[in-house]
Amino acid sequence: MEFERVQAIASLSASLNTIPPEFIRSEHERPDITTYRGPVPEIPVVDLSVADRTRLTRAIADASEEWGIFQIVNHGIPVEVVKELQRVGKEFFELPQGEKEAYVTGPGSIEGYGTKLQKDLEGKKAWVDYLFHFVWPESRINLKFWPEKPEAYRTANKEYAKHLLRIVDEMLSSLSLGLGLEEHTVKEAVGGDELEMLLKINYYPPCPRPDLALGVVAHADMSVVTILVPNEVPGLQVFKDDRWFDVKYIPNALIVHIGDQVEILSNGKYKSVLHRTTVNKEKARMSWPVFCSPTDETVVGPLPQLVGDENPAKFKTKKYKDYCYCKLNKLPQ
Ligand SMILES: O=C(O)CCC(=O)C(=O)O
Ligand SMILES: [Fe+2]
The model's confidence at residue 243, banded by pLDDT at 50, 70 and 90, is very high
Which ligand does the CA of 259 lie closest to? 2
**What is the per-residue pLDDT across 186-238, written as a single tens digit (0 to 9) for each?**
999 999 999 999 999 999 999 999 999 999 999 999 999 999 999 999 999 99
Residue extents of the structural domains in the chain? 6-329
- Give the mean model confidence (pLDDT) for residues 31-44: 91
**What is the per-residue pLDDT across 108-141, written as a single tens digit (0 to 9) for each?**
889 999 998 666 777 899 999 999 999 999 999 9
The C-alpha atoms of residue 48 and residue 37 are separated, in whole angstroms, by 30
ipTM over 0.85: yes
CATH number of 6-329: 2.60.120.330
Ordered DSSP codes for 245-288: EEPPP-TT-EEEEE-HHHHHHTTTSS-PPPEEE---SSS-EEEE
Residue 1 has pLDDT above 70, yes or no: no
Q: What is the pLDDT of residue 119?
A: 67
The model's confidence at residue 41, banded by pLDDT at 50, 70 and 90, is confident
231 lines ligand 1 (CB under 6 A): no
* 287 Cα–ligand 1 center, Å: 7
Q: Are 293 and 234 in contact (CB under 8 A)?
A: no
The C-alpha atoms of residue 136 and residue 26 are separated, in whole angstroms, by 39
The best mutation among 287, 291, 324 to test binding of ligand 1, ranked by most ligand atoms within 8 Å of the C-beta, falls on 287
Near ion ligand 2, which residues have CB within 5 Å? 221
200 is catalytic: yes
- Give the mean model confidence (pLDDT) for residues 262-268: 98
CB-based contacts of 147, cutoff 8 Å, min separation 6: 88, 92, 103, 131, 153, 154
The C-alpha atoms of residue 72 and residue 49 are separated, in whole angstroms, by 10
